[in-house]
A = this chain, B = another copy of it.
């Protein structure tokens, strides 16, 4: 069920008017954009303005700002899980992992709110979805390690951290990042992950 549908359930069971439905769709789209640009702190007024409606309209259909954001985040994470499942279906394990990694990092770099949600900034609301995504990570990494094309001193738990690390700002040290700087970083990182490897990892795996 999409985020729009979930928000359109009417207690009286009636179909909402066409304009009401249109506005909810606009609000969900706007929330997605606001989450990407502003993060999970995106305000109700900001989202309403992006959608081209007043705050009154916002609160007519949406119980609270937090619930809207949660619904949208859950939807986006659900799409990510689908991408992971397609990657698991790829006959070449490394190819599958590397395609998923690219999509995952791209999503994170284009939406700072998603990054915060994955970092746990949204309370318990997303626990189940996060667990499902975690499971896909484990499967993807175990498959590629069984095939012998990833260094074995990396734990599967390292991989979310490795990928999470590539997503940061457009600037550092006064330097301007190109649109796809993250692709370069990811490329170096994937090279570091392939077998054989030069050094062994320090410390213990995260848990």
Contact = CB atoms under 8 A, between A and B. Distances in A.
A165 B177 CA distance: 12
A190 B199 CA distance: 9
Interface in A140-197: 154, 157-158, 160-162, 164-169, 171-178, 180-181, 183-185, 187-194, 197
A157 B177 CA distance: 9
Contacts of A175: 134, 157, 160-161, 206-207
A133 interface: yes
Interface residues of A, number: 52
A206 to B, nearest CB: 5
Contacts of A127: 174
A41 to B, nearest CB: 12
A139 B191 CA distance: 24
A180 B190 CA distance: 20
A130 interface: yes
B174 A134 contact: yes
A1 interface: no
B173 A134 contact: yes
A174 B206 contact: no
A21 B193 CA distance: 52
Contacts of A202: 180, 183-184, 187
Nearest to A180: B203
Given A175-B160, A189-B189, A194 B198 contact: yes
A118 B173 contact: yes
B173 A137 contact: yes
Contacts of A199: 187, 190-191
11 contacts: A119-B171, A130-B173, A137-B173, A161-B185, A165-B165, A176-B207, A180-B202, A180-B203, A187-B201, A188-B189, A191-B197
In order of increasing CB-CB distance, the 5 nearest A-B pairs are: A192-B192, A188-B192, A191-B192, A164-B172, A120-B171
